[in-house]
Amino acid sequence: MDVLAYFIPGFHIDEFNNEWWGEGFTEWDNIKQSEPLYNGHFQPNKPLNGFYDLLSLDILAKNFKMAKDFGVDSFILYDYWYDGEKPLGSVIDLILKNQKLDFGFSLCWGNHSWTRSWKNRSGSLDVLIEQTYGDVDSIDRQVDFYVTAFLDPRYYKIDGRPLFQIYRPNDIPNLELFISILVNKCLSSGLKRPYLVANYSGSKNTSYLLDIFDSLILTNPTLALYSDSNVFSDEQAFSSRIKDVRNYPGFLKKILYRLQDFLPDKYEVFDYSVANDNLIRQSVSGHKLLGDKVLFSCFSGFDNTPRYKSRAKIVQNADSSVFFETLQSLYNINKSSPYIAINAWNEWGEGMVLEPSSLHGFSFLEAIKKFKKKNKLL
């Protein structure tokens, strides 16, 4: 079993962010300006190695070496594709062009629109760039890029099949066409059929996804915070925030969000140990129902105060010993699973980091190494 970590290809100056948020903006600006919301709330949480630029080959090399040294086997890089427009695409391009960056990677298509949701609630309806799903020609261009990445010798594979993940598969109206073109182009390029993974966060279209994808991966911390133990039930106990407002028609959401913007902001606080207990129960029930068709993920913490300020969601008491026990529990549930995914290596805007931080130091990386050594996975 391998340990994979999601990797955010941000933290560099990008023309899209220059236009949307101001010249020279990177998300380090949000981190630096973050403030605690209550007594005992730790903000800002900063990288021990300093604020960096991911367009530096030296910085990328240091990230990759650190991950390898502590037992992370590969990164899952988020890729954003908007009919050829690629916000934050420069880091992936840089990795593909530099074979000396000797570390495994795979891609996850982060197929969602970008909005001004950081600004206020109604900002979530202010679309900066809309995720669209094009015709065959558009899909061809997108898939050609993916196949080029798959052919890279560093690309992470399962039984020789390149791993490819989709963040919101249910949003894609021409999903079967997209997958068909992807598979055919892989085969015609001499690759094996890709190993297709769908992010799963409680959709009712389980059987449809299982007909198309090799596996579903339980999305965390979303499921651990908002769903009951049976994540594949049609009557899940999602919170009202997830179940109601987000599923309302656009015109009604617009009214509700604007009304809410007149109300005092509220932050939500969760407990890390409770969330991990939920995560393990969900993983057990998912494995009992779907066997090897379900993959597991866990998370190193969560606090999106840098982005949302007083509207933040905060998972407090994150602890590397609980993280270690969660890794061990997931391993024990299904030792034949190809990997466990960790959210995330460097999601500083949401407080999900394995990188050494001012809050936790190297403790989460040490927990991974301890887990790998204990189970002879190094």
pLDDT tens digits in sequence order for the chain, 378 residues long: 999 999 999 999 999 999 999 999 999 999 999 999 999 999 999 999 999 999 999 999 999 999 999 999 999 999 999 999 999 999 999 999 999 999 999 999 999 999 888 876 666 778 899 999 989 999 999 999 999 999 999 999 999 999 999 999 999 999 999 999 999 999 999 999 999 999 998 866 788 899 999 999 999 999 999 887 788 875 543 443 344 455 556 666 666 766 766 777 899 999 999 999 999 999 999 999 999 999 999 999 999 999 999 999 999 999 999 999 999 999 999 999 999 999 999 999 999 999 999 999 999 999 999 999 999 998
Query: Would the pTM of this model clear 0.85, i.e. be above it?
Result: yes
Pairing mode of beta strands 294-299, 339-343: parallel
Asked if 326 and 280 count as a contact pair (C-beta separation under 8 A), the reply is yes
Q: In what order do the strands lie in the sheet with 302-303?
A: 268-271, 313-316, 302-303
* Every domain of the chain and the residues it spans: 2-374
CATH of domain 2-374: 3.20.20.80
Identify the helix (H) or strand (E) that includes residue 7: strand 2-7
Asked if 365 and 70 count as a contact pair (C-beta separation under 8 A), the reply is yes
Question: How is residue 265 annotated by DSSP?
Answer: P
Pairing mode of beta strands 2-7, 74-79: parallel
CA 331/CA 310 separation, integer angstroms: 37
Residue 85, SS3?
A: strand
Asked if 4 and 156 count as a contact pair (C-beta separation under 8 A), the reply is yes
> What are the structure tokens assigned to 53, written together?
């630029």
Q: Is the dihedral of CA 317, 323, 325, 329 positive or negative?
A: positive
Question: How is residue 193 annotated by DSSP?
Answer: P
Cis peptide before 44 (omega within 30 of 0): yes
